[in-house]
């Protein structure tokens, strides 16, 4: 079945895309509390157990990079179904893994399949909506699917305490079966045959090269990738900084994390309500400006060794600004893609994980070089926020020149 592009995405399709978009964060963080137990059961050191996450992220990046362009040439629906079915199989293999090498392979394939599903969810949204409506859709996807990073570790901890780490993968197995059924029932083919890239690999690579030559697309994509990197620096470093350096208890840290995430949800909801009136570009420039200001505030507070509540204020604003930045930066980038939204989504998705993986050790390296942990985190966040803002500024400048020339 195929649908024509409409002004609004049907709510049921939006709900399915949100459900699928929650797969990646749940697959990443739901089993983390069971890592020590997993390591003991499979004879792995702590570093070896953490490799299960590394293999998943590597598969995620490759899955997105390959699937996006392929879906531009072959269509979305069959690949979407294939990805969700593969995710079911890989999740079952993870739950049953008798040895470390099986777990590594299963987690890589699980990441590959999750990457397929997530990139196709964004591509389908990009096929069905454009401009401000696409920014609204991405805001709603963040709201509907964004509870996973908060709920996942809590539910995963309860499951691990009750039935062990394998139980987490069986829960994910059940959720992924639901995902297959939802995609099969509700997701249409959104890339009609006449819109697909044809003639083998050459036109496909040409389309991908065209995206990378589009300075506006590159600018907005940098805005998305590096704002995500700013957020990732917070996620990776804050457990150590807030608990070990500033003395918050684990329960207090969980409440702080939940409060910051709630702020992001509120901002994303506000963005969804006003983006059609204000415009995604204006909101993106405001959001990235706020992000730079908040990270500079954090750096100043860390350098001055200010009271820990100043750090909390800065972190709250950083996280809340993502409710604007993720939706609008990604919508502006994908809106430049024409009939290759799969490729556009793939570059964004794989880029965010590759860059986050490259940048995340920098906080530890900076701390090892003599900086305090808060200063190291804030310095990395300032650098990534500035690159994000410059990317959006560059994309906006290209759009202004295009409008002036037309």
* 54 in any annotated domain: yes
Mean pLDDT of 215-226: 93
Token pair listed for 158: 């309860």
Average pLDDT taken over every residue of the chain: 85
| 167 and 217, same domain (yes or no) | no
| 254 and 188, same domain (yes or no) | no
* CATH code (residue 331): 1.20.1250.20
pLDDT at 94: 97
pLDDT at 103: 97
| 102 and 150, same domain (yes or no) | yes
> What range defines the domain where residue 22 resides?
11-196
Separation CA 342–CA 361 (nearest Å): 30
* 201 in any annotated domain: no
Domain count for the chain, please give it.
2
| 113 and 189, same domain (yes or no) | yes
| 190 and 256, same domain (yes or no) | no
Q: Are 43 and 100 in contact (CB under 8 A)?
A: yes
User: Which neighbouring-strand residues pair with 2?
Assistant: 189
Query: What DSSP line would sit under 368-400, residue for residue?
Result: HTT--HHHHHHHHHHHHHHHHHHHHHHHHHHHH
Per-residue pLDDT tens over the stretch 238-256: 766 887 788 887 667 767 8
pLDDT at 374 over 60: yes
* 6 in any annotated domain: no
| 18 and 146, same domain (yes or no) | yes
* 202 in any annotated domain: no
Chosen domain end from 144, 171, 196: 196
| 148 and 243, same domain (yes or no) | no
Q: Are 173 and 46 in contact (CB under 8 A)?
A: no
| 184 and 307, same domain (yes or no) | no
| 191 and 215, same domain (yes or no) | no
Q: Between 18 and 146, where is the model more confident?
A: 18
* 4 in any annotated domain: no
Q: Are 59 and 194 in contact (CB under 8 A)?
A: no
Backbone angles phi, psi at 189, to 5 degrees: -80, 115
Q: Are 287 and 321 in contact (CB under 8 A)?
A: yes
In terms of Cα–Cα distance, which of 189, 146, 172, 177 is closest to 13?
A: 189
| 96 and 28, same domain (yes or no) | yes
Chosen domain end from 146, 161, 196: 196
pLDDT at 320: 93
Helix, strand, coil content of the chain in percent (nearest 5): 85, 0, 15
pLDDT at 3: 47
Mean pLDDT of 94-123: 94
Mean pLDDT of 216-236: 88
Separation CA 300–CA 307 (nearest Å): 12
pLDDT at 363: 67
Of 7-21, 153-167, 259-273, 342-356, the range with the lowest mean pLDDT is 342-356
Q: Are 52 and 103 in contact (CB under 8 A)?
A: yes
Per-residue pLDDT tens over the stretch 192-216: 877 776 655 565 566 677 788 889 9
Chosen domain end from 196, 223, 258: 196
Report DSSP state, residue 192. Answer: -
* 5 in any annotated domain: no
| 178 and 214, same domain (yes or no) | no
- Which residue carries 């709630």 as its tokens? 262
Q: What confidence category does residue 143 fall into, taking pLDDT thresholds of 50, 70 and 90?
A: low
| 164 and 243, same domain (yes or no) | no
* 165 in any annotated domain: yes
Separation CA 197–CA 219 (nearest Å): 24
pLDDT at 296: 97
* 99 in any annotated domain: yes
Per-residue pLDDT tens over the stretch 23-64: 878 887 788 668 778 988 999 886 688 688 778 888 888 888
pLDDT at 158 over 70: yes
């Amino acid at each position: 079945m195929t649908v024509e592009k409409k002004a609004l995405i049907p709510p049921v399709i939006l709900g399915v895309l949100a459900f699928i978009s929650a797969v990646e964060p749940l697959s990443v963080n739901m089993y983390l509390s069971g890592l020590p137990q997993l390591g003991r059961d499979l004879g792995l050191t702590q570093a070896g157990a953490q490799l299960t996450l590394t293999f998943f992220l590597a598969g995620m990046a490759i899955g997105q990079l390959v699937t996006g362009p392929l879906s531009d040439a072959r269509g979305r629906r069959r690949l979407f179904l294939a990805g969700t079915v593969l995710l079911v199989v890989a999740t079952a293999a993870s739950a049953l893994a008798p040895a470390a090498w099986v777990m590594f392979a299963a987690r890589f394939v699980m990441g590959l399949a999750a990457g397929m599903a997530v990139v196709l969810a964004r591509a389908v949204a990009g096929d069905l909506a454009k401009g401000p409506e696409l920014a609204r859709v991405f805001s709603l996807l963040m709201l509907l699917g964004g509870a996973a990073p908060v709920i996942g570790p809590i539910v995963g901890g309860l499951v691990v305490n009750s039935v062990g780490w394998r139980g987490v993968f069986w829960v994910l197995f059940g959720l992924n079966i639901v995902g297959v059924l939802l995609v099969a029932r509700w997701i249409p083919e959104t890339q009609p045959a006449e819109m697909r890239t044809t003639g083998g690999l050459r036109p496909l690579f040409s389309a991908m090269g065209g995206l990378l030559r589009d300075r506006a697309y590159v600018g907005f994509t940098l805005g998305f990738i590096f704002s995500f990197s700013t957020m990732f620096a917070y996620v990776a470093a804050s457990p150590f900084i807030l608990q070990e350096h500033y003395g918050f208890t684990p329960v207090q840290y969980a409440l702080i994390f939940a409060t910051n995430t709630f702020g992001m949800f509120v901002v994303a909801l506000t963005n969804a309500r006003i983006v059609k009136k204000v415009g995604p570009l204006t909101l993106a420039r405001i959001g990235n400006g706020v992000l730079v200001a908040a990270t500079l505030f954090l750096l100043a507070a860390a350098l001055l060794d200010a009271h820990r509540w100043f750090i909390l204020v800065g972190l709250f604003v950083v996280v809340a600004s993502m409710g604007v930045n993720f939706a609008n930066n990604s919508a502006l980038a994908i809106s430049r893609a024409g009939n290759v939204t799969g490729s556009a989504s793939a570059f964004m998705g794989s880029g965010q994980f590759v860059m986050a993986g490259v940048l995340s050790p920098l906080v530890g390296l900076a701390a090892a070089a003599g900086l305090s942990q808060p200063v190291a985190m804030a310095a990395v966040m300032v650098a990534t926020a500035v690159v994000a803002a410059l990317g959006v500024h560059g994309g906006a400048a290209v759009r202004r020149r295009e409008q002036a020339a037309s």
